[in-house]
Amino acid sequence: MKRILTGDRPTGKLHLGHYVGSLKNRLRLQDEFEVYLLVADLHALTTNTDTRSLKQNIKDLVLDQLAVGIDPKKVTFCVQSQIPEDQELAVVFSMLVSKPRLERIPTLKEVMRDLKIETASLGLLSYPVLQAADILMVKANLVPVGKDQASHIELTREVAQKFNSTYKETFPVPEALIPKDISTLPGIDGRQKMSKSLNNAIFLSDDEEIVREKVMKMYTDPTRIHSTDPGHVEGNLLFIYHDAFNENRIAVEELKRRYQEGKVGDVEVKEKLASALNKFLGPIRTRRRRLEKETGLVEKILEEGTKKTRAQAKKTLQEAKAAMNLV
């Protein structure tokens, strides 16, 4: 069975954008592959060195994934900072990558621009090197990523190939797994991407009233002045969400027809969207509340998964050091 590593930075609770962009795919992958889910707490420090909420963020990250149906019996959860072999492997890999190569990573410029960072820290610049170590420490064959992260996996492939050619065939050359049916969910303000930092997200743990309030504030067709005006469906935020989460396809198509004919107002479209979202989120909220009451559950899952991952990382590091004549 092929092995996968993927993960998240623990920066807070997960939202609908995470579900569309990664969690929905993970539910499928956990039945097809050997999956490692990394809690990338060291990566979180690259853009925020305040660790006061880190423990709660880690717990929320795991709870949200369990709540949507990720099964700890099928996947291995692990905490990055608790695997020192990962960091040692990153030091070794850093000898194989030049500074100009890291500066060419497209997402580096995007992160610096979005967060208004003038000069990248060494940690942010070398983020892809540690990511390569994350992937290769468990000898993952596949890495599920969006198109925007494909350049990181290309660097990991280069690192594996250079190590293998310089020393000894030690690492698999992993491939990016870019699902064709995964897309980016826009934020409720109409921006291109849903994000905690942009305050435009509907969280998986939001209660019914909060979901409704957020939906009623959603950006919609700016060319439509009155409810009797013909509206645009294509690219309309409300219908993007209906298509993603409303299971009643017949009702959605009827709503689109009426909207295009100027026979339904935005309020009704939003009310029906709020109902559809709450129907989708209801079981997730219920499971999350139940899991939260299980004292020590998250801690046990992380402890057992990290122990298993570290055993694999130790073995990998020993092989790499032997190949380099360091042992």
List binding-site positions.
9-11, 17-18, 134, 146-148, 185, 193-197
Distance CA 205, CA 78 (A): 23
Binding site for L-tryptophan: residue ranges? 134
Q: What's the rounded Cα separation, in Å, for the pair 304 and 314?
A: 16
Residue with tokens 């609908």: 16
Pair 43, 86: CB distance under 8 Å: no
Per the annotation, binding residues for ATP are 9-11, 17-18, 146-148, 185, 193-197
Distance CA(53)–CA(225), nearest Å, equals 44
Residue 157 falls in which region: left (phi positive, over 0), alpha (psi -120 to 50) or beta: alpha
> Whose CA is closest to 24, among 194, 176, 204?
204
DSSP 238-290: HHHHHHHH---HHHHHHHHHHHHTT-S-HHHHHHHHHHHHHHHHHHHHHHHHH
Residue 175, H or E segment: strand 175-177
Closest to 80 (Cα-Cα) out of 102, 105, 101, 54 = 54
